[in-house]
Structure 1
Amino acid sequence: MHINTYMYTRDVNFFDFCEQVDVMVSWIEENCSITLTAIQARINSEFNETLALSTISKYLDGKLYTRKAVHTEPIIMNSNVNKEKRAAFVTSLNGFIQAGKQIVFIDETNFNLFCRHTRGRSKVGHRAIQPLPAVRGPNIHLVGAISGSGVVSMDRQRGPFKKDTCGAWIATVLQRWEGQGNNLADLVIICGNAPCHSAIENAVAINSGGRSQVLRLGPYSPMMNPIETIWAKIKTYVKGHIGVPIVEGLNLAEQRLQYLENLVDEAKLTITGGDCARAFQHSSSFHTSAVALEDMLIGT
């Protein structure tokens, strides 16, 4: 009788605790940034139970909930209107492809001397410390255009990349595209909705004689722009090789800037035609979900 009573009591406690774990998971689903301490306090308040932080962590690990970097997601990213715009983009893109058009994606990114990995390794009990320059310095912008077969154009510039500079850069992209033996009448340039792209249709029309076309990505669609994958590779290279530049004498700011520019130029050379082809393939893997009006996730 004693053994049966023990087993019954243990089963009741087990099922009660399973309920607590499920409730903890629901709290995390509501607020991914909730801390173990906050979970501990809520358990004590709602279940009148006291659990060690290590116990909470262990059981959350058992449910495959681990701590990781937080991705912020705009609340309107997956609104019905934006999902319909993403679907319309994919439909238009496929129409151009079926018509035999050549697709080129453009985008821009930036770098500065504080460009570093956010995680590192160190001995237990010691911080992972990476020295930084005393000043961030001005940004270096990298603007690129890629096709499924390789880089069409990739140029860096100091300072901001604005509407007027974008228009001038588009002219060079079209010249290089034609110089590579391509027909401007077959070209479709795809861009996002950044402020610097606000006059891109006009720039393409003027510099191509009305032969090339522009297609805009749907809102919040970085996952469908293959050049984002190329930027990721370039930034990984820069973060892995950047150090504190050794500068002395006059024009210290200029020396730091040249150091960063040289590093970005090295990173550009690591991009191959195969990288571009794989980036195109990866971005197209989201097309089916977009047409089906499914939610998209940041960072995919």
Structure 2
Amino acid sequence: MLSPNQQETATEEECQRVLSAYVAEKDWLTVARHNGILRSAAYRLCNSGNPTLPKSGKRLSERVVDDFGVTLSTSTIRVKLPNKLIAVKQACREPSMCNNEVNKVKCKPFAEMLIKHIADGDYVVYYDESNNNLFCIRLQGRAVKGEHCVVKRPPSHGKNLKVQCSVSTEDVLVLHQLRRGSICMEEDAEFAKRAYTTINCLESFQRHFEGRKIVIVLDNVPTHNPTESRLEEELGEHIELDLLRLVP
């Protein structure tokens, strides 16, 4: 709450008194108090160093004149720009082959086959893995003004945490596994085999999907390349299992 001697908006002369005292290394906080300026406002004023900034429309008009040599009135800026406000953001790299027509044509058979399995009433499970870096460095921190914010890291790191997970719309989480280090092809095929046997033992599968196929949807990482052949060798060629991989 403001004290009786403090005001919400200080005049230009009062702000200049505080700024002059700050530049002269005098007790500028006392000057601000006697002029009815809040302590926080006095700090902002001294940090900015400019007691009277023109309004944004005027500053933008001056910037356009300096950069392009074109004079725009503040009323023109107010009328033309409200619906065209933009924000400066960090640019993201997008591969040139992302979402182009060639990749859309390649992905079409995959989407059609997935829709067909769902329409046929097959049990669809989605399998994926994720890498969690436990040794990530902080990008933001606190430090005394004038000093660097430093994060001391050990000379070497351990293995990252890998999460393998298979989910379905029927039973949500079917199977998951946590491990350290990279996932080999043999371990990937073993997890898919465990997912298949786990699904066969589920009560919901035995009750509603008896005689239906089990469809495991995979992405296109190289680790999944030998999964289908390994499962055929271990489980047999006539198992009710389809591996549906996303096209490269």
TM-score by structure 1 length? Answer: 0.47
Report the 3-state secondary structure (helix = DSSP H, G, I; strand = E; otherwise coil) of the residue aligned with 1:188: strand
More helix by share: 1
Which ranges in structure 2 are unaligned for 5 or more consecutive residues?
Answer: 1-60, 72-79
Please give the alpha-carbon distance, in whole angstroms, between the structure 1 residues aligned to 2:202 and 2:150: 43
Alignment-derived partner of residue 217 in structure 1: 246
Identity value in percent: 26
Alignment-derived partner of residue 66 in structure 1: 87
2:160 pairs with 1:139: yes
Which ranges in structure 1 are unaligned for 5 or more consecutive residues?
Answer: 1-16, 22-42, 51-58, 220-300
Q: Give the one of 57, 72, 90 matched to 2:111.
A: 90
Alignment-derived partner of residue 107 in structure 1: 128
Q: What do you get for the CA RMSD once the two structures are aligned?
A: 3.8
Q: Give the one of 89, 96, 99 matched to 1:78.
A: 99
Is the alpha carbon distance of 1:185 and 1:163 closer, same or farther for their aligned partners in structure 2, counting shifts above 3 Å?
Answer: farther
Aligned pairs, number: 169
Is the alpha carbon distance of 1:178 and 1:73 closer, same or farther for their aligned partners in structure 2, counting shifts above 3 Å?
Answer: same
Deviation at 1:165, TM superposition (A): 1.8
Alignment-derived partner of residue 173 in structure 1: 195
Please give the alpha-carbon distance, in whole angstroms, between the structure 1 residues aligned to 2:220 and 2:193: 19
Residue type matched to 1:71 in 2? Answer: C
Asked whether the equivalents of residues 107 and 143 of structure 1 are also in contact (C-alpha less than 8 Å), the reply is yes
Residue type matched to 1:144 in 2? Answer: C
Deviation at 1:95, TM superposition (A): 0.6
Cα deviation code 1:158-204 (max 9, x no counterpart): 21112222112222211222222435852101011101011122234
TM-score by structure 2 length? Answer: 0.55
Q: Give the one of 175, 178, 190 matched to 2:217.
A: 190
Is the alpha carbon distance of 1:66 and 1:136 closer, same or farther for their aligned partners in structure 2, counting shifts above 3 Å?
Answer: farther
Alignment-derived partner of residue 152 in structure 1: 174
Residue type matched to 2:222 in 1? Answer: P
